[in-house]
Amino acid sequence: MEITFLGTGTSHGIPVIGCECPVCLSNDPRDKRLRTSIHVRTPEMSIIVDTTPDFRAQCLRERIKRVDAVLYTHSHVDHVLGFDDLRRFCEMEDKSIPIYGSPRTLSDLARTFQYAFDGSARYPNYVRPEPIVLNGPFQLGGLDIIPVELPHASMVTNGFVFEKNGRRMLAYFTDCQAVPPDAVAAAMDVEVLVIDALRHHSHQSHLTTVGAIEAARRIRARKTYFIHMCHELGHEKTEADLPADIRLTYDGMRLDF
């Protein structure tokens, strides 16, 4: 399994429009963050987690030519507004694309992109979603995928734990303000934890850096990476203050398992 971080920033993206803080003006390419999404690739499948408003640019940058399934964490705009760009992947292979999400997420997608779900998009090979409700573990591309529920202000998001042959490789927990006991148990002793760490000071719907570190310790992750970061967290300075087993993600970063 190979993971590529398509984007690692919060909903504003970094740099933030109109901001002249040190991180937004930074020349470090790791401080340039598109909205948060990952590409999961196995020999059998190409899987996207969330289609951000930057999805087209992310696919061009990483030369992604095939998408076999999309997993949605939730329906906030910074995670779904690239949905329409899935049409090119339907066109290239003349196929539908399974999309996985909670009932609320799929309902929100069907309302926002009504034309794709009600059949009114009559053009050949337009975006053709196959909605699949998350109701327990499932398999894709030789992977066992376990969805977990995470609190995110007034809504619940889905995190995902990726396993293969009993090997717990990756837990992907973005957009959450806490990690409940069920999610901790599902990810326990995972090789790599990717977790929301918006900023240092508190936020009503996201983990702080301290909260993310505490969650990583409860999960006993061998390696932890922060994601969904705002412009308070400069890459070099933030990493210098973190434990050795906890790092920051950056756009274009790859992990091989």
Residue 255 falls within a domain, yes or no? no
Residue 209 falls within a domain, yes or no? yes
Residue 257 falls within a domain, yes or no? no
Residue 229 falls within a domain, yes or no? yes
Burial class of residue 185, CB neighbours in 10 A (0-12, 13-18, 19+) = exposed
Residue 27 falls within a domain, yes or no? yes
Residue 114 belongs to domain with CATH number: 3.60.15.10
**Residue 38: strand pairing partners:** 5, 49
Provide the token pair at 74: 């939730």
**Per the structure, how many domains does the chain have?**
1
Residue 241 falls within a domain, yes or no? yes
Residue 191 falls within a domain, yes or no? yes
| Pairing state between β 69-71 and 46-49 | parallel
| CB atoms near residue 139 (< 10 Å) | 10
Residue 89 falls within a domain, yes or no? yes
Q: What is the largest CA-CA distance in the chain?
A: 54
- Determine the structural domain holding residue 62 and report its residue range: 2-250
Per-residue pLDDT of the chain (257 residues; tens, 9 = 90+): 999 999 999 999 999 999 999 999 999 999 999 999 999 999 999 999 999 999 999 999 999 999 999 999 999 999 999 999 999 999 999 999 999 999 999 999 999 999 999 877 767 678 999 999 999 999 999 999 999 999 999 999 999 999 999 999 999 999 999 999 999 999 999 999 999 999 999 999 999 999 999 999 999 999 999 999 999 999 999 999 999 999 999 999 999 99
Using one digit for the tens of pLDDT, what is the confidence trace for 58-97? 999 999 999 999 999 999 999 999 999 999 999 999 999 9
Overall size of the chain counted in residues = 257
